[in-house]
Amino acid sequence: MDHRQHDHGGSEDSEGGMDMMAMYFTGGTKVTILFKFWETSNTGVFVASLIIVFLLALVYEALKFYREVLYERSATLASDRAVQGLLGGIRSNIFKSYHLVQTVLHMVQLVLSYFLMLIFMTYNIWLGLAITLGAGVGYLLFGWNKRSAVDITEHCH
């Protein structure tokens, strides 16, 4: 391993030079977002990417809201049923359709939260702003009717 690679945490590109990520906020429009194929080669692609990132953050907030609604519905259904033994209750509830839907939505929300975090970690001011505004608009649209101060569906505490 080249000592420069070890000291700076970068990786070598195919020509032996260092390919290092900036560890400070930048305002450029050329950035790679999450995947090698998602490169913003021009301003139009960058603006489209900002819109996509904004929508991803908005969808994240919508998922949190929808999962909370589903959780409340499932809790109501569970309290309406007769009390069963613990093992019987687990067996009968773990494969219920609402719980399976919650499980899939939980996985989607988890991946989305990590994607948003990694996008923010590009240290691009505009991408960070798109995430912040998307989450803000999402909260404005979906968070106004929260029933508790504790967010049970939040992944980034």
Give, as one character, the DSSP assignment of residue 83.
P
Calpha distance 94→68 (Å, rounded): 18
Q: What is the pLDDT of residue 2?
A: 45
- Tens-digit pLDDT profile for residues 35-60: 999 999 899 999 999 999 999 999 99
- Tens-digit pLDDT profile for residues 108-153: 999 999 999 999 999 999 999 999 999 999 999 998 876 666 555 5
Domain ranges within the chain, ordered by starting residue:
28-145
Q: Is 157 exposed, middle or buried (0-12, 13-18, 19+ CB in 10 A)?
A: exposed
111 or 23: which leads in pLDDT: 111
- Tens-digit pLDDT profile for residues 76-104: 665 555 455 555 566 667 778 888 889 99
Q: What is the pLDDT of residue 118?
A: 94
Q: What is the pLDDT of residue 78?
A: 57
Q: What is the pLDDT of residue 121?
A: 93
Residue 20 has pLDDT above 80, yes or no: no
- Rounded mean pLDDT of the chain? 79
Residue 72 has pLDDT above 70, yes or no: yes
Q: What is the pLDDT of residue 94?
A: 79
Q: What is the pLDDT of residue 112?
A: 97
3 or 86: which leads in pLDDT: 86
Calpha distance 123→130 (Å, rounded): 12
